[in-house]
Amino acid sequence: MHNAVKVLISEDEIRERVHALGRQIEADYHGKPLTIAAVLTGSLIVLADLIRRIGVPHRIALIQASSYKGATTTATTLVINESFAPDVADRDVLLLDDILDTGQTLSALIRHVNDRGARSVRTAVLLRKIGRQEVPLEPDYCGFTIPNAFVVGYGLDYDDDYRHLPYVGILDGPEATPH
């Protein structure tokens, strides 16, 4: 059973914005050894739509990052699996995530990719949530800024569901409090 989802960003708005970001990235990375490193699983949908708007050669890397809250401290440990990430040494890496929330994931991945010898590292996010960031980080490319609500669709999940929705929506109902 699905909870009700209220549309926040429509399919048309997403398409238009993703196309614009693609054109911008294409211009910025012209003639550069670009690798787009997408953070699984939420960024898969935006990755597929975005790269078809980037008309310059580029590679794709997939990175899995799972965060675990410490039982006794507030520290978060990020476990990174890069089995599907080709060598990023001397590549211009663009990290792509579905949403910038606390910023913990992307800031750890920036350090990680730098340690791997990337030529440059930038970040792109489809969404940025207001008022949640714990780590200072300005994404280089951002689709939309959204209010502090739990959103699903266009790759974003609640309990691994709702990723297939073609729009971004706010999840309604008693379950919508996963943080």
Q: How far apart are CA 152 and CA 168, in angstroms?
A: 6
What Å distances lie between residue 136 and 69, 101, 127, CA to CA? 19, 11, 16
Check 101, 115, 157, 160 and give the catalytic one.
Answer: 101
Q: How far apart are CA 174 and CA 179, in angstroms?
A: 13
Nearer to ligand IMP, 56 or 130 (CB): 130
Nearer to ligand IMP, 21 or 108 (CB): 108
For ligand IMP, the binding residue among 5, 25, 54, 100 (CB under 6 A) is 100
Q: How far apart are CA 44 and CA 57, in angstroms?
A: 19
Q: What are phi and psi of 93, to 5 degrees?
A: -100, 130
Q: Are 102 and 132 in contact (CB under 8 A)?
A: yes
For ligand IMP, the binding residue among 37, 46, 156, 168 (CB under 6 A) is 156
Nearer to Mg ion, 42 or 143 (CB): 42
For ligand IMP, the binding residue among 93, 97, 139, 165 (CB under 6 A) is 97
For Mg ion, the binding residue among 22, 42, 143, 155 (CB under 5 A) is 42
Binding-site size, Mg ion (CB under 5 A): 1
90 is an active site residue: no
Binding mask 24-63 for ligand IMP (x = CB under 6 A): ---------------x--x---------------------
What Å distances lie between residue 147 and 25, 61, 115, 139, 155, CA to CA? 25, 30, 33, 17, 18
Strand (E) or helix (H) holding 44 = helix 44-51
Binding-site size, ligand IMP (CB under 6 A): 16
What residues are annotated to the active site?
101
Which residues bind to ligand IMP, rule: CB under 6 A? 39, 42, 97-105, 150-152, 156-157
